Amino acid sequence: MDLDLISNILFAMVRTGTPLLLVALGELVCEKSGVLNLGQEGMMLFGAVIGFIVAFATGSLWLGVALAIVAGMVLALLFALVAVYLNANQIACGLALTIFGVGLSSFIGTAWVGKPLVGFGTLAIPLLSQIPLLGRMLFAQDLLVYLSFALFAVVGWVLLKTRTGLVLQAVGENPAAASAMGLPVRRVRLLAVLFGGAMAGLAGAYLSLAYTPMWAENMTAGRGWIALALVVFASWRVFRVLLGAYLFGLASILHLVLQGLGVSIPSNLLAMLPYVATIVVLVLLSRDAVRTRLYAPVSLGQPWQPGH
């Protein structure tokens, strides 16, 4: 393999991993607060369609991104009202949200199918992008990818280094104790769910405005679900979420590149690679069951009501 090829693979790995990273970061924060939101796919699609329509109609990609984030948050708010405040079953609500988001996005998007749009282009940072191997991967991406780097840093910092992170964790571990300490459990959960919605909306906008700038029904093709699985396999640790997302991206790209190099592995086997590789690595990392359990938010998926 020559350097160019590896550099191309790394570049594509980040591009492919970015939507997963964004959604998984949002879901990580959400789950840290004890709420399991299975509606990622629906929120992503809704963000994707709204982002596309707004960008197409106004000509402003950033306005599209902003409203895609809002769109994700609107669906997340619906979810939070029912699952956090009315104590409905989170799993059922999440599934309903996905089904709703898929249907709603197809309905709204019908008139926008087949419309071409010039999306975010790559923005190479001078000098830095010339670094061999890593230059293209880190410094010749589009703006939304840079934004995902920044968001990763912010989420990591907040979760690991700030009081906000501790509050989030307290609410997710033991809402009763957190409440006794005077923490507004439901408000924390609401904000965490909204953050998850915003990230899913942003990931949707990344798909419809940068990755493949167009609207097509179901264009997420299951990425919301993969992101959900990533959070579990990453055992709720933020660096492993990054690792998992890029690993998945890398394996998806290898599936294609290896074929191009004439490696004679059946392509159906190669197509399984992203799933197998990601799961194997993350399972290996978390093979210490006791420690892994320590990282899973204890009250994940359980509704909580003040006074109980």
Partner 1 sequence: MSYPLLKKQSFKKLLCGLTAALGMSAALSASAQEPLKIGFVYLGPVGDHGWTYQHEQGRQELVEHFGDKVKTTYVENVDEGASAERVIRNLATSGNQLIFTTSFGYMNPTIKVAQQFPKVTFEHATGYKQAKNVGTYLARTYEGRYVGGYLAAKMTKSHKIGYIASFPIPEVIRDINAIQLALNKYDPQAELKVMWVNSWFDPGKEADAANALIDQGVDVLFQHTDSPAPIQTAERRGVYSIGYASDMCHFGPNSCLMSIVNDWGPFYIRTAQQVMDGTWKPEDFWGGLHDDMLKLPISDVVPADVKQGAEKIIASIRSGEFHPFTGPIKDQSGTERLKAGETITNQQLASMDWCVEGLKADMPK
Phi, psi of 122 (to 5 degrees): -80, 150
Residues contacting residue 16 through CB under 8 Å, at least 6 positions apart: 248, 249, 250, 252, 253
- Cα-Cα-Cα-Cα torsion 71, 76, 82, 86, nearest 10 degrees, comes to -130
Q: What is the CA radius of gyration of the chain?
A: 19
Residue 106 lies near partner 1 (rule: CB under 8 A): yes
Among the listed residues 264, 284, 287, 308, the single contact to partner 1 using CB under 8 A: 264
Q: How far is 276 from 100, CA to CA, in rounded Å? A: 30
Q: Is 109 in the site for partner 1 (CB under 8 A)?
A: yes
Asked if 19 and 202 count as a contact pair (C-beta separation under 8 A), the reply is: no
CB of 22 to partner 1, least distance (A): 13
User: Which residue, 183 or 258, is less far from partner 1 as judged by CB?
Assistant: 258
Binding of residue 257 to partner 1 (CB under 8 A): yes
Of 179 and 208, which CB lies nearer to partner 1 in the complex structure?
208
Q: How open is the CA angle 199-203-205, to the nearest 5 degrees? A: 115
DSSP letter string, 6-75: HHHHHHHHHHHHHHHHHHHHHHHHHHHTT---TTHHHHHHHHHHHHHHHHHHHS-HHHHHHHHHHHHHHH
Site stretch for partner 1 (CB under 8 A), options 148-156, 165-173, 231-239, 253-261: 253-261
- Comparison of 30 and 254: residue with beta carbon closer to partner 1: 254
Task: Select 33 or 252, whichever has its Cβ closest to partner 1.
Answer: 252
What's the closest the beta carbon of residue 88 comes to partner 1, in angstroms? Answer: 27
Decide if 256 contacts 19 (C-beta within 8 A): no
Binding test (CB under 8 A) with partner 1, winner from 241, 243, 253, 300: 253
Binding of partner 1 by 259 (CB under 8 A)? yes
Using the contact rule CB under 8 A, the part of the chain among 14-22, 158-166, 181-189, 294-302 near partner 1 is 14-22
Q: Does 207 bind partner 1 (CB under 8 A)?
A: yes
* Residues that contact partner 1, how many (by CB under 8 A): 36
- Residue 223 interacts with partner 1 (CB under 8 A): yes or no: yes
Q: Which is nearer to partner 1, 15 or 189 (CB)?
A: 15
CB-wise, 10 or 185, nearer to partner 1? 10
Neighbours of 289 (CB within 10 A): 8
Give the separation between CA 269 and CA 65, rounded to whole angstroms: 36
Binding site for partner 1 (CB under 8 A): 5, 8, 12, 15-16, 19, 106, 109-110, 113-114, 116, 207, 211-219, 221, 223, 252-253, 256-257, 259-260, 262, 264, 266-268, 271
